[in-house]
Amino acid sequence: MRKKLVVGNWKMNGDLARNAALLEGVCAASGQDVEIVVCPPFPYLAQAHERLVQSGVLLGAQNVAAFADGAFTGETSAAMLKDLGCSWVIVGHSERRALFGESNEVVASKLHRVTEAGLCPILCVGETLEQRESGRAEEVVASQLAGGLADMGSSRCVLAYEPVWAIGTGRTATPVQAQGMHEFIRECVRRRGLDGESVRILYGGSVNPANAAELFACPDIDGALVGGASLEANGFLAICAAAAAS
C-alpha cells in the first residue's frame, strides 16, 4: 500500500511572521496517517527547518541548481539544500519550464543532482490546454518523463502530474481525467523497468478541501502537490485529513 503524500508548494509567498503562523498550523497535521512536506521559498528554509525539525513534517525546496557547485551566481545546489535540512526537492514544475525555459534536459540534470545528493525528487509533468485539446497530452507527458525516469529508481522518488491548464486557474481535472493520466504515467514507469506499484504519483492543479477526497479516491492518485491552498493552514489541514482518510 502506497502511503499518501501531501506537499505544500508555497511558491513566492510569505514573510517571517506569516510563515511562523502557517508552520504552527501545518504541524497540527503531523499526527495524521499521511506524509507531509512543506516547500517554502529559499530565504525561509532555515526558519521552516527550525520549526519542523521535530514535528514529523518534512522540509522540501521548490527548485535546485543543475550544477554541483561553482561559479553560478544566484543558484542553490542540492548539497546546500541537504545542509539546510531539506529531504525533498520539486523538479521540473511547469512554472519553471514555462517562465524560465527549463528544457527536459535541464530538468533531467537537476533531478540527477537531487538523487546524487541523497535527496528525494518530486518530478513534475503536465500538458497545456492546447496540447490536451489537440490529443497530445500523453505524448507530452511521456516526453517529460523520459529524461527523468533514469534517476527514479527509488520508491522514495515521486512523480507529480500537474495539468498546466489547472494550475492556479481554479479549474481542476475531473477525477476521470486525472485518474486516466495517472494510470498512463504508472504504465510509463513500468515500461522503463521500474516498480510502478511502489512509485507514488501526486495530482496537482487547484487541489482544495472541496475536491481533495474525490481525487484521493482514485486508485492511482497517491496524494497532492498543493499550491495556493497550502498557504492557509485550515485548508491545508483539511486536504491532509482527506488524504489520511482515503
162 is catalytic: yes
| HEC-encoded secondary structure of the chain | CCCCEEEEECCCCCCHHHHHHHHHHHHCCCCCCCEEEEECCHHHHHHHHHHHCCCCCEEEECCCCCCCCCCCCCCCCHHHHHHCCCCEEEECCHHHHHHHCCCHHHHHHHHHHHHHCCCEEEEEECCCHHHHHCCCHHHHHHHHHHCCHHHCCCCCCEEEECCHHHCCCCCCCCHHHHHHHHHHHHHHHHHCCCCCCCCEEEECCCCCCCCHHHHHCCCCCCEEEECHHHHCHHHHHHHHHHHHHC
User: Out of 35, 95, 102, 162, which one is annotated catalytic?
Assistant: 162
Residue in 35, 93, 102, 127 annotated catalytic: 93
112 flagged as catalytic? no
Q: Which residues are catalytic?
A: 93, 162
